[in-house]
A and B are shown apart, each in its own frame.
Chain A
Amino acid sequence: MTEPGDKQADFDGGEALSPYSKDYWDLVFEQLGRRKLFKLAISILALIYASAIYAPLLGNDRPYVLEAIDYKAYGQAQRTLYPVALSVGRLVRQGPEGYEADKSEGAEQDWEGALQAEVDAAENRIETLRSYLGPADTELLDSFQEKLEASVAAAGAGKSDEATALSKEAKEIAKEIRTELAAVDPENPEAGGHELVPQKSYPLFETITSSEVFFMVLWAFVLLWPLWNGFWNRALLRGDRDRIRKARRPKLVLVVGTSLAASLLWGQLVGGEMVFEVSPLKRGLTTNEVVATRAVFPPFSYGFAETSSGETFRAPTWTAESEIDEEGYYVRGARVPEPDPITGYKPPGAPVEVRYSEPPRNSPWRHPMGTDSVGRDLLVRMLWGGRVSLSVGLVSAVLLVFIGTVIGALAGYFRGWVDILLSRLIEIVLCFPAFFLILMVVAFIDPNTIPPIIAIVIVIACVRWTGVARLARGEFLRLREQEFTLAARATGVPALRTIFRHVLPNAIGPILVAGAFSVASGILTESALSFLGFGVKHPIPSWGSLVTESRSAEHWWIQFFPGFAIFVTVVCYNLVGDAIRDAVDPKMKVQ
């Protein structure tokens, strides 16, 4: 038999001491830790959220890192330097007065501005040329730059003759550049030319914003939680439960602080901006205008807006019905084209374009979830679409729990006319079918004045807070009469402080449960709204709107996969809610 006070290793690396030194949250976490379903659900949710947070890193048409020679850009820079030099020359020759006279109606720039613009253009091209040519061939470039700058300086100082002369020289050099500095044609290497040096760039990371970085770092901490938390508890704190409890706040600070710092750092160093257009890089790589020595693409190298005309409504490529031959015809199934019985005419097929970095035409990994009406890959769209659905669910739940708790707490604690007023308010809002009301309001929001996603979150929160309010009110009514509240009031603790520091931590159990279920219902509502067409607008995908791409029974994958994703997420949240409900049950057994 074990004596009281025996130490046993606990689920998170800490050790269980005698029952009397556990606080409320220790008990709750312990109960939760025992339930396998809860752990499973939380893990699945963590992965789903990870797929949404890391979506840009998973499904993107830009590579992480690219070492390549952009022949097209080089060629353009090389050839168009001369026209720029010409413009500079003209401006310099005209001088400010001549420019004003010559200016077209409505042109806003003045002479200096125009000159500066041309100089900037020249600088850009020189940059490009420099970076590709490497240190060896920079003579021409250097002299060009020298002459140009001198010319501009002279023109600025009013010495127009000198400036004109200098600019002429610059023009000559530019001509030379045009002829001499041609690059090696990769398909015809013997024809001669300069060897270009591949440039290293990180196109994908340039599209990631600092707020995305915040969540990515934060989520890395969350995903690795068992590891670093267990390590911290075991190694650093040696399993001392009291120290573990005190370490809760530092851990939180570490996680949030690091994420914040990383995000700010990113903003300073990289300052990425989200892009919605398809990247020209992939196209360039496919047509060999850009030749890469090293290109690392994400696992699913499609953009969420990247279309493919040969693969519209293509079934998941691991099914038999999805096979397409070289000419773009389906091999089996309902879509095999039949030649017209009379004329024998067979409509031309649309060949499938397998772009750079994509899996082969009939590889099962090519489009694991099929494509939509314009050939966009569904998996990538689901990754990105998850961001909308998941964040709307979570944020609206947080908001509505906040509103509901505050109102319910005030009603339950103060009672009297405050309670009567707030209860009437709750009843009035409850008179509506919630979804109906949400639908009404969302339908009338002008997408130009407020982004629909924010509107949806606010509307859901403003309609659904009543459930939590009732719960909170009930809890506060009950707890108000308990001794610890009376003690707090008797010792003169001001009302608001009593509510938030004393009563609320005890009431929070059922509220958390309601919160978990609210996320599930928020996700369901958002997807239903999107399904009906009132959610986020194009081109941003959302799980609900993905389903509406086709109602035809032939295109089962469009209807199945997004709905399945919603289903799994909702199941997990319901499991979490159930688990929390059991864990905070006042009939908890203390052994």
Chain B
Amino acid sequence: MSERNGGMKRGEVLLEVTDLRTHFRGEEGVAKAVDGVSFKLLSGETLGVVGESGCGKSVTAMSIMQLVPQPPGFIAGGSIRFAGRDLLSMSIDEFRRIRGNEIAMIFQEPMTALNPVYRVGEQIAEAVRLHQGLDREASRARAIEMLDLVKIPSPEKRVDDYPHQMSGGMRQRVMIAMAMSCGPSLLIADEPTTALDVTVQAQILDLIRGLQQETGMSVLLITHDLGVVAEVSDHVAVMYAGKVVEYAAVADLFAQPRHPYTIGLLKSLPDLAAPGERLHTIPGTVPSAFHFPSGCRFRTRCPLASAECAEREPPLDELPDVGGHSVACHHLKEAEAL
């Protein structure tokens, strides 16, 4: 399957998102849910996008797949390049050939993500028939293959089940099977384990990891759980209020977080080594997407906020001393003291 990476070798840029802006028109104005997000995803690697609810990470993923509901939402700017092609300038028909085929997505709620009136196998086979032109028998065989790939026992029996006959974890496996069925080079996983039990979480993450290693595909993993990020990602992008505030390799990020927000996040994790300590919190709440603060958006909750932070938005700059680690903050020096 490794030839399917669009001919890419491991380490080349597969997905490049530049200054993506996705806005929503609402009654109170325009919500700038994603406002200038840029990152690169290399072939064969896992990028974890992490942040609180409302920071725009899901919208980013949906924008890549062009699944943002168009009446209130619209892509206001930026570019998304996949395997050298500009996705946003394609016609929708062209893009549909990529969607589900070269880029696949799995979602957060497995309980409602499958159509309740069609059999599971049929839902997988449908994608295969569409993108790979197989006939009914062949696509059904492929569906069984896929169910096996995601380690569902007795796949030849399960293929005729309806979603309501399966548990949450199994349904998520089916979703993964469906996503993998056409051999995509990029898998976008939007909070795939949030709705599952902890033990099932671990299984699913293992599965994704294993599939990635087998096929060499890239994974864009959206989550709010730092533990998940630490487990599976190669690189991490931390998002806040529609912007990326820090980007680094995973080990780097956890060892040496630079942005005050990241530092705050990591500090809030309960530490088993120090029981009885008061839990750290970041004061305040995420601002409404209609009314972001001027300048740096984190300044209303940042202990280091200054006048400069209100006037000028800090750019996401690569750190001079460490390679591949970018931060958007005016007060990096002071941040080290946190």
Q: Interface of A with B (CB < 8 Å)?
A: 1-4, 34, 589, 591
Contacts of A589 in B (CB 8 A): 26-27
Give complex CA distance A1, B292 in Å: 8
Q: Interface of B with A (CB < 8 Å)?
A: 26-28, 287-288, 290-294
Q: Is the CB–CB distance between A4 and B294 below 8 Å?
A: no
Q: Is the CB–CB distance between A2 and B291 below 8 Å?
A: yes
Shortest CB-to-CB span from A213 to chain B, Å, is: 43
Q: Give the contacting residue for A591; candidates B28, B292, B293; CB below 8 A.
A: B28
Contacts of B28 in A (CB 8 A): 591
CB pairs A–B below 8 angstroms (17 shown): A1-B291, A1-B292, A1-B293, A1-B294, A2-B291, A3-B291, A4-B287, A4-B288, A4-B291, A34-B27, A589-B26, A589-B27, A591-B26, A591-B27, A591-B28, A591-B288, A591-B290
Shortest CB-to-CB span from A17 to chain B, Å, is: 14
Contacts of A591 in B (CB 8 A): 26-28, 288, 290
Give complex CA distance A589, B289 in Å: 13
Shortest CB-to-CB span from A33 to chain B, Å, is: 12
Contacts of A4 in B (CB 8 A): 287-288, 291
Shortest CB-to-CB span from B31 to chain A, Å, is: 9
Chain B's closest residue to A34 (CB) is: B27
Give complex CA distance A392, B249 in Å: 73
Give complex CA distance A4, B287 in Å: 8
Chain A's closest residue to B293 (CB) is: A1
Contacts of A34 in B (CB 8 A): 27
Contacts of A2 in B (CB 8 A): 291
Contacts of A1 in B (CB 8 A): 291-294
Given A3-B291, A4-B287, 15 additional A-B pairs, CB 8 A: A1-B291, A1-B292, A1-B293, A1-B294, A2-B291, A4-B288, A4-B291, A34-B27, A589-B26, A589-B27, A591-B26, A591-B27, A591-B28, A591-B288, A591-B290
Give complex CA distance A1, B299 in Å: 15
Contacts of A3 in B (CB 8 A): 291
Chain B's closest residue to A20 (CB) is: B285
Chain B's closest residue to A590 (CB) is: B288
Chain B's closest residue to A2 (CB) is: B291
Contacts of B294 in A (CB 8 A): 1
Shortest CB-to-CB span from B33 to chain A, Å, is: 13
Give complex CA distance A591, B291 in Å: 10
Chain B's closest residue to A4 (CB) is: B291
Give complex CA distance A242, B292 in Å: 27
Chain B's closest residue to A19 (CB) is: B288
Shortest CB-to-CB span from B172 to chain A, Å, is: 24
The 9 closest A-B CB pairs, nearest first, are A591-B28, A1-B291, A2-B291, A1-B294, A591-B288, A591-B290, A4-B291, A1-B292, A1-B293
Shortest CB-to-CB span from A204 to chain B, Å, is: 49
Contacts of B287 in A (CB 8 A): 4
Give complex CA distance A207, B211 in Å: 88
Give complex CA distance A589, B288 in Å: 12
Give complex CA distance A1, B291 in Å: 6
Give complex CA distance A289, B28 in Å: 70
Shortest CB-to-CB span from A455 to chain B, Å, is: 47
Give complex CA distance A529, B40 in Å: 72
Chain A's closest residue to B28 (CB) is: A591
Shortest CB-to-CB span from B305 to chain A, Å, is: 14
Give complex CA distance A34, B290 in Å: 19
Give complex CA distance A34, B28 in Å: 12
Give complex CA distance A589, B29 in Å: 13
Chain A's closest residue to B288 (CB) is: A591
Shortest CB-to-CB span from B311 to chain A, Å, is: 13
Shortest CB-to-CB span from B312 to chain A, Å, is: 15
Give complex CA distance A1, B26 in Å: 16
Give complex CA distance A4, B284 in Å: 12
Shortest CB-to-CB span from B75 to chain A, Å, is: 21
Shortest CB-to-CB span from B29 to chain A, Å, is: 9
Shortest CB-to-CB span from A526 to chain B, Å, is: 39
Contacts of B26 in A (CB 8 A): 589, 591
Give complex CA distance A591, B72 in Å: 15
Give complex CA distance A4, B286 in Å: 11
Shortest CB-to-CB span from A229 to chain B, Å, is: 24
Give complex CA distance A2, B294 in Å: 10
Chain A's closest residue to B292 (CB) is: A1
Give complex CA distance A316, B156 in Å: 79
Give complex CA distance A2, B28 in Å: 11
Shortest CB-to-CB span from B73 to chain A, Å, is: 14
Contacts of B27 in A (CB 8 A): 34, 589, 591
Shortest CB-to-CB span from A480 to chain B, Å, is: 21
Shortest CB-to-CB span from B236 to chain A, Å, is: 30
Shortest CB-to-CB span from B262 to chain A, Å, is: 24
Shortest CB-to-CB span from A205 to chain B, Å, is: 49
Shortest CB-to-CB span from B35 to chain A, Å, is: 13
Contacts of B292 in A (CB 8 A): 1
Contacts of B290 in A (CB 8 A): 591
Give complex CA distance A591, B294 in Å: 18
Chain A's closest residue to B31 (CB) is: A591
Give complex CA distance A326, B101 in Å: 89
Contacts of B288 in A (CB 8 A): 4, 591
Shortest CB-to-CB span from B42 to chain A, Å, is: 37
Give complex CA distance A591, B292 in Å: 13
Give complex CA distance A58, B290 in Å: 52
Give complex CA distance A4, B290 in Å: 10
Give complex CA distance A589, B290 in Å: 13
Give complex CA distance A4, B291 in Å: 8
Looking at B26, B290, B291, the one whose CB has the most chain A CB atoms below 10 A away is B291
Give complex CA distance A1, B288 in Å: 12
Contacts of B293 in A (CB 8 A): 1
Shortest CB-to-CB span from B298 to chain A, Å, is: 15
Chain B's closest residue to A591 (CB) is: B28
Shortest CB-to-CB span from A331 to chain B, Å, is: 58
Shortest CB-to-CB span from A481 to chain B, Å, is: 16
Shortest CB-to-CB span from A4 to chain B, Å, is: 7
Give complex CA distance A34, B26 in Å: 14
Shortest CB-to-CB span from B11 to chain A, Å, is: 42
Give complex CA distance A4, B292 in Å: 10
Shortest CB-to-CB span from A343 to chain B, Å, is: 78
Shortest CB-to-CB span from B318 to chain A, Å, is: 29
